[in-house]
Chain A
Amino acid sequence: MERWQLILAVIVVYLAITLGIGLAAGRRSSKSVAGFVAGDREFGLLVMYFVTGASVFSAFAFLGGPGWAYSRGAAAFYILSYGVLGMAPWYWIGPRVAQVGRRMGYVTQAQLLVGRFPSRFLSVAIATLTLVAFVPYITLQMRGAGIVIEAVTDGHVSLAVGAGVAYGIVIVYVLRSGVVAVGWTNTFQGIFMLAIAWALGIYLPFRLYGGIGPMFEQIAAARPELLTPPGLTASGDPWTWGGYSTAILVSAIGLQMWPHLFMKAFTARNDDIIRRTVILFPTFQLFLVPVFLIGFAGVLFPETPPSSDFILPFLVLSTGLPALVVGLFCAGALSASMSTGDALLHGAASVVVEDGVRPFMDLSDERQRTVMQVLIVVVGLVAYWQALDAESSLVQLLLGSYGIISQLAPPVLAALYWRRATTAGVVAGLLAGAGTAVFFYIFGELRPLDLHEGILGLMVHIPVLITVSLATPAQDTEHVAHFVESRTAPFSQPETHHA
């Protein structure tokens, strides 16, 4: 057997296990929409831990993380800071979201917002926004999977076939088992990517430099500019402090606002599971340390990869590791890609149907599930078609999407914590904030101090939300009481339960 065939065999075994877990997971969940979208609100701690970790850290972290450390040095450290900063407030916000969700029957973020601020426009705007932000994100995951498979099989399995097979499997298990499949496959994939990242991150510096200390000593002597923030930009010039600092801020604010992560609050069996997931999140995030070590290990490597995102497969292939290890590495990268991709596909379809279609059409539970399944295939195909077309602008688009997604933070906080917020205020704020973010995304050179466009958007968004809310009549106190907990009494019960 040739080397690439052995590597391919490892990948095939990994994919088969993933498919098996995904299909087996769905046997217990109900056939309802609540089952498909929110897993009957039955996720336990183990699954929530890995769903959260593995969905947050995608192919971008696994391949892009080393790529950033390799080409932009300490600029990558911003990823180390924002995750836990964005996750910690969720200790308090997450259970609150879950409580409102259980009481009012919500399974998506937009349902929560529209429940508090009734507006069809808001519902459709969020559904559209989700789709626009998700497609390039899914495309990137697919390309990541395809690139790795093509690289480690010496081109015997092309990007198109590799991405097609990996995501064919994702689509099969998501269609069959919904979010429960996402949960259990992410558990398997999460364990895999953690193990591979730690093993390689410690092994490579020792193999190439004789240790982590000697590695950084040599980098400090040859390329000292790579070791302290703000590091470099993609073109190799020094990055600005404004850019570095606001990248942390906007990512921390936006992190939990990604609909596929936000919605997981509705899947937890109870509030303690959400709280413990937050407490344990730093242990998952620590895997960025070996990920960066892998990237730094490539800095002084004599040959250069075709592109910085290839540093990980490149190093793995050119250091003469046994085929089994290369195969396992590849499976780790596929885990990172597929564990985010499945959550995104599932999230996109759920949101479009629940928030974009249902407010206008009466659909039976069964019909809704069918429409979601069709949409998963359609979104998957659109993303796949884009993945085959090597457009570097997609990465730009993804970075830009944080600017838009972060605009969901003020409405969510207002819905849960501010009694005086009104529908007009929230809609006006969202339009002003998203408009500002898009404007500065397109005219990037106009941004003051290199601040992230999402932060500039929030600087307009928040004052508009507050001013317009105060200028319009307050909402009915009884209505507000379903969402904002009063200091003296817990939530009031709604008179009618939505299905």
Chain B
Amino acid sequence: MSLRRTRWAAAAFLLFFLVVVTWPGILPFNRVEPRILGMPFIMAWQTGLLILTGILLYLVDRVEARERKK
């Protein structure tokens, strides 16, 4: 992916993150069941977003690093 598109995608993901953890975007995920690893769904969902962000930042870094080398 090109640098520009990668950055746009990263910005879009962070915006998505913000929307789904605040009102009203959080509402569809704001439930206890189904529980994941014993935790309420909303807690597991927010933890999952955290992990996903780490993975995506790593992927972004690979594109950015390739671009910096040029």
Contacts and interface: CB of A to CB of B under 8 A. Distances in A.
B51 A212 contact: no
The listed residue with most B CB atoms (<10 A of its CB), out of A84, A241, A242, A276, is A84
Contact of A242 (B23, B42, B54): B23
B40 A88 contact: no
Interface in A266-303: 272, 275-276, 278-283, 285-286, 289, 292
A289 B38 CA distance: 12
A80 B35 contact: no
Interface string B17-52: 110011110100011100101111011001101110
A208 interface: no
A74 B57 contact: no
A228 B21 contact: no
A20 interface: no
A88 B35 contact: no
A80 B17 CA distance: 12
For the complex of A and B, 8 pairs with smallest distance between CB atoms: A213-B38, A212-B38, A282-B54, A245-B22, A241-B23, A81-B21, A279-B57, A227-B40
Given A220-B32, A227-B43, A228-B32, 20 more contacts: A74-B40, A77-B42, A80-B43, A81-B46, A84-B53, A85-B18, A88-B14, A91-B57, A91-B60, A91-B61, A212-B37, A213-B37, A214-B38, A216-B38, A220-B40, A228-B30, A228-B31, A228-B42, A244-B23, A275-B64
Interface bracket on B:
20 to 34
Contact of A85 (B14, B31, B38): B14
B22 to A, nearest CB: 4
A419 B51 CA distance: 36
Contact of A216 (B22, B40, B61): B40
Contacts of A249: 18, 22
The listed residue with most B CB atoms (<10 A of its CB), out of A77, A213, A220, A248, is A77
16 contacts: A81-B17, A81-B49, A85-B14, A91-B60, A91-B61, A213-B35, A213-B38, A228-B40, A241-B23, A241-B24, A249-B22, A252-B18, A275-B61, A280-B54, A282-B50, A282-B53
Interface of B: 10, 14, 17-18, 21-24, 26, 30-32, 35, 37-40, 42-43, 46-47, 49-51, 53-54, 57-58, 60-61, 64-65
The listed residue with most B CB atoms (<10 A of its CB), out of A85, A242, A285, is A85
B44 to A, nearest CB: 9
A70 to B, nearest CB: 15
Contact of A279 (B35, B38, B54): B54
A224 interface: yes
Interface in A212-226: 212-216, 220, 224
Contacts of B35: 213, 216
A230 B42 CA distance: 11
A80 B21 CA distance: 10
A283 B31 CA distance: 25
Interface of A: 74, 77, 80-81, 84-85, 88-89, 91, 211-216, 220, 224, 227-230, 241-242, 244-245, 248-249, 252, 272, 275-276, 278-283, 285-286, 289, 292
Nearest to A243: B23
Nearest to A73: B40
A408 B35 CA distance: 40
Contacts of A84: 17, 49-50, 53-54
Contact of A248 (B22, B24, B37, B38): B22
Contacts of A286: 47, 50-51
A229 B61 CA distance: 33
A289 B50 CA distance: 11
B43 A74 contact: yes
A84 B52 CA distance: 11
A89 B14 CA distance: 9
Nearest to B42: A228
A489 B69 CA distance: 16
Nearest to A92: B7
B32 to A, nearest CB: 5
Contacts of B60: 91
A80 B47 contact: yes
B43 A292 contact: yes
Contacts of A292: 43
A216 B17 contact: no
A283 B64 CA distance: 21
Contacts of B24: 241
A81 B50 CA distance: 7
Nearest to A209: B38
A281 B56 CA distance: 13
Contacts of B17: 81, 84-85
A289 B60 CA distance: 26
Nearest to A81: B21
Contacts of B10: 88
Nearest to A82: B21
A280 B60 CA distance: 13
B42 A224 contact: no
The listed residue with most B CB atoms (<10 A of its CB), out of A74, A227, A230, A283, is A227
Nearest to A281: B54
B66 to A, nearest CB: 13
